[in-house]
Amino acid sequence: MSAISARAVAAKLLVPVINGEGSLASLDGEIAAHAVAERDRGFVKALCFGVCRAYPRLDALAAELLRQPFKKRDSDVQALLLLGLYQLLHMRVPAHAAVSETAGAARGLGKAWATRVLNGCLRRFQRESVALQAKVDRDPPVALWHPAWLLKALRQAWPDAWQALCAANNEAGPMTLRVNRRRTTREAYLERLDAAGIEASACQFAADGIQLAGAVDVHQLPGFAEGDVSVQDESAQLCADLLAPALEGRDGARVFDACAAPGGKSAHLLERFTLDLTASDIDPGRLARVGATLERLGLDARLSALDASSATLAETLGQTSDSADAAAPSAGFDAILLDAPCSGTGVIRRHPDIKLTRRASDIGDLAALQARLLDNLWRQLVPGGTLLYATCSVLPAENAEQIAAFLAHTPDARATTPDDLAWGQPAGHGRQLLTAQNGHDGFFYARLEKVAD
């Protein structure tokens, strides 16, 4: 596939995202479906992620360059303009190629008429770049590459850290690994990486974590296919540490991972502890990914496609349990992990399309869903059991405020989140990690114990 076609494909894939009707969640599959040559796939992916990452600023610059906005049916042409600006500002593509090949890509979309418009806009940007950038950067959300509602929320929540948060959100996250301690040790795996010529270092907080100096294809990782290692951010790996007091020395403990896909936390728990684990997700397709993850790692768990917020959860668990006394509601669970659906504001750097697809109004809906999940799952926990609540959000409404409200109306719940941890910062009854540049994702944890009668 030619470079021109690669740009046309990137524009097509961006259309549903910039129209708020889709995301980049299935980007790899969509790139393959467009028959993009293997040598061009990384370029298409970099274009799509890059445009989403810088979208607020690119969109403002595009508005300055156009006499009037494109109609919705020409969103692909708008996407090409954003792609051209992104290449000129942030990629090592020669400027003449960024302009001419991006403009020419309009022909691949069947819109040759747009070639002249795109050429004119991009050439004008080259001439007036400094002045145009200075003009749009007067607006803080544009200058900081964040939608206005999110920037306001971050400033209110983290008055001393919001600028660092924005900077971290605007960078690609590092590639972080989790060593499967059932098969090897972190020290031994670091030596294998070194022998393979892959620069890496131990994570600061996660005992099984390794951060790579640069991203590599997973198939280049020694022993990946055999299950020696997985890709997982350092923040996500801290889940196993927080549940350790409830699970260590308790072989066969009954554990429920309520929103398990794609399965990284379930796998880590099974690598660390000997458990009777049920992993569930509302989406059967995503649950299949959990199964694939566990199979690669040689781990075993029950898989149940179910809605953990459903009022019939207890009955569903009883029906899907293949062991009468293991996952049946009458037995309950010794520990529950609720990695709740959330805004994803702690992982924007890995999912930059969140800047386009998420709305301020989503936060209230998500908080209501999280509250239902907490209440529902609490009933499945045995007295003395532990529930770990987690989100990849940095917004208090989904985190500290959510847990405070839960504790206020749940008399048999008490928070046991440690206050002497080396990572994160206290946030009500939980612990908040803010997205760190060159470090971990943003995450929140709150550990709760069901008080025995």
* Catalytic-residue membership of 166: no
Cα–Cα distance, 276 to 382 (Å, whole number): 15
Q: Can you read off the two tokens belonging to residue 361?
A: 């109004």
Catalytic option among 52, 166, 203, 392: 392
The reply, when asked if residue 261 is annotated as ligand binding, is yes
Determine how β-strand 381-391 pairs with β-strand 275-281. Answer: unpaired
Is the Cα torsion angle 157, 161, 167, 171 positive or negative in sign? Answer: negative
Q: Can you read off the two tokens belonging to residue 254?
A: 């009954």
- DSSP letters spanning 295-337: HHHT---EEEE--TTSTTHHHHHHHH-SSTTTS-TTT-EEEEE
The reply, when asked if residue 339 is annotated as ligand binding, is yes
The reply, when asked if residue 42 is annotated as ligand binding, is no
Q: How many C-beta atoms lie closer than 10 Å to residue 64's C-beta? A: 15
Burial of 282 (0-12, 13-18, 19+ CB in 10 A): middle
Q: Can you read off the two tokens belonging to residue 331?
A: 């037995």
CA 125 from chain centre, in angstroms, equals: 33
Cα–Cα distance, 340 to 325 (Å, whole number): 26
The reply, when asked if residue 265 is annotated as ligand binding, is yes
The reply, when asked if residue 74 is annotated as ligand binding, is no
The reply, when asked if residue 281 is annotated as ligand binding, is yes
DSSP 175: P
CA distances in angstroms from 453 to 94, 376, 412, 413, 447, listed in the order given? 70, 19, 8, 11, 19
Percentages of the chain per state (helix, strand, coil), in multiples of 5:
50, 15, 35
Cα–Cα distance, 359 to 370 (Å, whole number): 17
The reply, when asked if residue 264 is annotated as ligand binding, is yes
Cα–Cα distance, 230 to 213 (Å, whole number): 16
The reply, when asked if residue 259 is annotated as ligand binding, is yes
Annotated binding site: 259-265, 281, 307, 339
**Residue positions in the annotated binding site for S-adenosyl-L-methionine?**
259-265, 281, 307, 339
Residues taking part in catalysis = 392
